Chains A and B, each alone.
Chain A
Amino acid sequence: MMKRLLSTLALAGACGLAAFGAQAQTKPAKLDQIKAKGFIQCGVSQGLPGFSTPDDKGNWTGLDVDFCRAVAAAVFGDVTKVKFTPLSAKDRFTALQSGDIDVLSRNTTWTISRDTSLGLNFTGVTYYDGQGFMIRKDKKVTSAMELSGASVCTQTGTTTEQNLADFFRANNMTYEVIAFATNDEVVKAYDAGRCDVLTTDRSGLAGERLKLTNPDDHIVLPEIISKEPLGPVVAHGDDQWFDIVKWVLFAQLTAEELGVTSKNVDEQLKSSANPEVKRLLGTEGKFGEGMGIGNDWGYQIVKTVGNYGEMYDRNVGPDTPLKLARGVNALWNKGGLQYAPPIR
């Protein structure tokens, strides 16, 4: 609450004070501000395994976290020049609007209302997701269509609440929703038996399940009730910064498509004759300069964070506790949806 109030005050303050000396046009570009302060402030979740979660030493790991590191690699050539701000679902947009954070990488669903009325820009989709339900095995439910009358726990300030309402309404079923401010509270209440069902994005369910007392007592129902394209977000009004964040992801996807990984990138840099690889790694063309960053931006991203596939496998893939198959998140030429415009 305090944090939200502060953010709101900061937003009101930033908006109120920005025009004191001069009009908004003279505000320095985001990239220059970031270069001046020397790090990127990245908004992440308060702990969602696989996407952004801190370990006991305070080191953050996850897909969303790695994406921010990739942006830092592109801008500074140094993955450590990023600081993380844990945000609840309801505080995240205010933090971005007020300029507390430079980029929001927090399993955030791209919707029209968020894109058009909050003063935000979604830069792409790092994970194609859909909303699902988790339930105790001993309830003997095998389909979401049997959930009429159920109590459902969810997190407030997410698209989840509305999808849930739509799903039950469309299927003429009754339900009771209990919405909590943070993920941890949702999991605790579900674990305590306050509700029959926990609902969030399916990738989130895989992560939350690990936090339960007995993860094996719970199953995720097969139905996917919504489209949840999750991606990074930046504030309106700075196209250069928007471009950089957008192309970091495209570079990672392009690298995977071309078979450039963090292990073979040095070799590829020296010996590859493929012009596409050369453009990605910055030995041909001046694409980095066009964005105001180093021409080796692509090399730095792949060298330090890796391509999209590596990032996926490391954080949420089949070999991690989340065990999420690539599915729709595979590259376009492998039957998935991930597709990057060409680097040329």
Chain B
Amino acid sequence: MSDLVEPAIGRSKTSFINDPKVRSIGLQLIALVLVVFLGWMFVDNARQNLAAQKIATGFGFLDNTAGFGISQTLVPYSETSTYGRAFLVGLLNTLLVAVVGIFFATIIGFFVGIGRLSKNFVVRLLSTIYVEVIRNLPPLFQILFWYLAVLSAMPSPRQSINLLGEVFISNRGIIVPRPVFEAGTGYVLWSFGAALLVVIVLHYWSRERRAETGRGLPMLPIGLGLMILVPFIAMAITGFPISLERPELKGFNFVGGVRVIPEFVALTVALATYTGAFIAENVRAGIQSVSHGQTEAAHSLGLRNGHTLRLVVIPQAMRVIIPPLTSQYLNLTKNSSLAVGIGYPDLVAVFAGTTLNQTGQAIEIIAITMGVYLVLSIITSVIMNVYNKRVALVER
């Protein structure tokens, strides 16, 4: 019996060239060589022809003086800085919009998503209207709305809206006082750090106690109280070392204070609300994917509504929410390049715009810019995938 079966499992008698395994590997190798060769030929020909047309090539331009101004710089930058520095400024501006936008989009999405399932008719209706209106309008249009429509309704710096006597809102942006740190600030920061540590320890202790006795501490008021009170006492002891530099109207604009430019506000608000609407739908879908039996079971164990949502429904819903949430985060980051439409100095405007035009090195600059977006997206994906693994259902 075994003698008959053996040859069928082992080596077939067909010739080497007809072996399906050898064939598939061979074909793949040929394809790989072709692709690499085509790619190499493309690059090589582009280089030869650029040289023939006397178009400058290479990455040396990054060390040249940029000679143009940028309206929002997170790192020191002046007209005498290099194109490489301008690249960094643009990159950081893109990251700023992405991070702040993702933060607010998540909050909006979470609340609206829960609101869509609310028992309260008005909340449910408003959430539905929000989602349906916002996600069905093109994002560029929304950015232009927040920029042009809202901006033209704003007063000039001289007539700016004054909030609490400290914050000024005008068509030049939102101007807030700048904190000035004097000697002694260190103690305040240390006290803040200490308070944070105590809160974290308390949080874990409270969790353990709840697991053992079923009674936790009211962590929210305790945590907030500690975080505000301790630094405040430290400030009082050191004689309030943090003072505020108030913005002052001088000439055309405000001098002093920190200014949030309207381009940033418009772009962030538009992207956060737009992406928030999509996230809301993800959240709703995630929550609905948790069967109602789970809620009933939690209730029958005596958990209140808030606890049921926080401890039973949401942890299970997260498994459904995380993967589509990742692609929403990626979308927001990529949509931030729509900034060119309103003059926000992001990577595309500063680097793939002004720098490209001044140096004329389209291929290098577009390649770098695409590389940056690729890396940003991959980093976001990796982080989200790690998080996804942690919340995923552990099968036993």
Q: What 0/1 readout, one digit per residue, does chain A (124-150) give for beta carbons within 8 Å of chain B? A: 000000000000000100000001111
Contact A19 B340 (CB under 8 A): no
Residue of chain B at shortest CB distance from A24: B52
Of chain A, the residue at the smallest CB distance from B354 is A156
Restricting to B316-371, which residues have a CB under 8 Å from any CB of A?
337, 340-343, 345, 348-349, 352-354, 356-360, 362-363, 366
Interface residues of A in 39-75 (CB under 8 A from B): none
Partner of A93, one of B69, B337, B348, B357: B357
> Which residues on the A side are within 8 Å of B43 (C-beta)?
16
Which partner residue on chain B sits nearest A17 by CB separation? B45
**Inside 8 A of B356's CB, which chain A residues have their CB?**
90, 157
Cβ of B55 within 8 Å of any chain A Cβ, yes or no, is yes
List, in ascending order, chain A residues with CB within 8 A of B70's CB: 177
Give the Cβ gap from A80 to chain B, nearest Cβ, in Å: 31
- Interchain CB contact under 8 A, A193 and B341: no
| Interface membership of B95, Cβ < 8 A | no
The answer to whether B213 has its CB under 8 Å from any CB of chain A is no
Q: B171 at the A/B interface (Cβ < 8 Å)? A: yes
CB-CB < 8 A to A225: which residues of B? none
B28 CB-CB contact with A under 8 Å: no
Chain B: CB-nearest residue to A7? B362
8 Å CB interface, A212-263 against B: 235-237
Q: A15-B50, A119-B55, A177-B71 are in contact. Are A149 and B171 (CB under 8 A)?
A: no
CA gap between A213 and B395 in the complex, in Å:
67
Q: A181-B353, A193-B156 are in contact. Are A237 and B52 (CB under 8 A)?
A: yes
Kindly specify which of A162-170, A268-276, A320-328, A335-343 makes contact with the partner chain.
A162-170
User: Are A157 and B354 in touch, CB under 8 angstroms?
Assistant: yes
- Which residues does chain B contribute within 8 Å of A116, judged by CB atoms? 54
Report the separation of the CA atoms of residues A191 and B340 in the bound assembly, to the nearest whole angstrom.
18
Q: Is B250 an interface residue (CB 8 A)?
A: yes
A178 within 8 A of B: yes
- Residues on A with beta carbons closer than 8 Å to the beta carbon of B48: 19, 24
Over the window 16-56 of chain B, the binary record of Cβ atoms lying under 8 Å from chain A Cβ atoms (1 yes, 0 no) is 00000000000000000000000001110110111011111
Task: Using known A-B contacts A118-B360, A148-B251, A165-B79, determine if residue A192 contacts B67 with beta carbons closer than 8 Å.
Answer: no
| Complex interface bits, A181-225 against B, C-beta within 8 A gives 1, otherwise 0 | 100010011011110100000000000000000000000000000
In the bound assembly, the distance between CA atoms of A184 and B101 in angstroms comes to 27
Q: Which residue of B lies closest to A89 (CB)?
A: B357
Give a binary string over A1-45; 1 marks a CB under 8 Å from any B CB, 0 the rest: 100110110011011111110001000000000000000000000
CB distance from B231 to the nearest CB of A (A): 34
- CB-CB under 8 A from A20, the residues of chain B are 45
Q: Is B204 an interface residue (CB 8 A)?
A: no
Please indicate which of the listed interface residues B251, B261, B362 has the most CB atoms of chain A within 10 Å of its own CB.
B362
Contact B341 A149 (CB under 8 A): no
| Tier of interface size on chain A | 35 or more
Given A150-B252, A157-B354, A194-B262, residue A93 in contact with residue B360 (CB < 8 A)? yes
The answer to whether the Cβ of B151 comes within 8 Å of any Cβ in the partner chain is yes
| Inter-chain contact A166/B49, CB cutoff 8 Å | no
Q: Are B171 and A19 in contact (CB under 8 A)?
A: no
Interface size on B, residues (CB 8 A): 54
* Complex-state Cα separation, A97 to B43, whole angstroms: 17
Interface membership of A283, Cβ < 8 A: no
Cross-chain contact A151 with B172 (CB below 8 angstroms): yes
* CB <8 Å contact, A97 and B68: no
> Given the complex, which residues of A lie within 8 Å of B79, measured CB to CB?
165-166, 169
CB distance from A344 to the nearest CB of B (A): 31
Residues of A within 8 A of B171 (CB): 192-194
Q: 8 Å CB contacts to B: which residues of A270-310?
A: none
By a CB distance below 8 angstroms, the chain A residues around B118 are none
State whether the Cβ of B180 lies closer than 8 Å to any Cβ in chain A: no
Task: Please name the residue on chain B nearest to A113 by beta carbon.
Answer: B358
B263 at the interface (CB under 8 A from A): yes
Residues of B within 8 A of A97 (CB): 53, 55, 360, 362
Q: Which of B48, B55, B172, B343 has the most CB of A within 10 A?
A: B343
B253 touches A18 (CB 8 A): no
- Residue from the list A17, A162, A180 in contact with B343, Cβ < 8 A: A180
Q: How far is the CA of A277 from the CA of B341 in the complex (A)?
A: 51
Contacts of B379 in A (CB 8 A): none
Cβ contacts under 8 Å, A153 to chain B: 343
From residue A218, how far is it (CB to closest CB) to chain B in Å?
15
How far, in angstroms, from A96 to B27 measured CA to CA in the complex?
41
Kindly state the separation between the CA atoms of A165 and B54 in the bound complex, as whole angstroms. 29
- Does A314 make an interface contact (CB < 8 A)? no
Q: A148's closest neighbor in chain B, by CB?
A: B251
Q: What are the residues of chain B within 8 A of A164 when measuring CB–CB?
A: 68-69
Q: A1-B348, A18-B45, A176-B253 are in contact. Are A235 and B53 (CB under 8 A)?
A: yes
A117 within 8 A of B: yes
B353 touches A193 (CB 8 A): no
Q: B250 near A149 (CB under 8 angstroms)?
A: yes
Q: Does B255 contact A (CB under 8 A)?
A: yes
A residues within 8 A CB of B152?
A: 191-193
> Which among A93, A151, A178 is the interface contact of B252 at CB below 8 angstroms?
A151
Query: Cβ of B75 < 8 Å from any Cβ of A?
Result: no
Given contacts A19-B48, A148-B251, contact A119 B54 (CB under 8 A): yes
Q: Is the CB of B341 within 8 A of A181?
A: yes
16 A–B contacts, CB within 8 A, in A order: A18-B49, A19-B48, A113-B360, A119-B54, A119-B55, A156-B354, A157-B357, A161-B69, A165-B69, A176-B71, A177-B70, A180-B342, A188-B148, A189-B343, A235-B53, A237-B54
**Besides A165-B69, A178-B71, 7 new A-B residue pairs in contact (Cβ under 8 A), listed by A number:** A7-B362, A16-B46, A20-B45, A24-B48, A97-B55, A157-B357, A235-B53
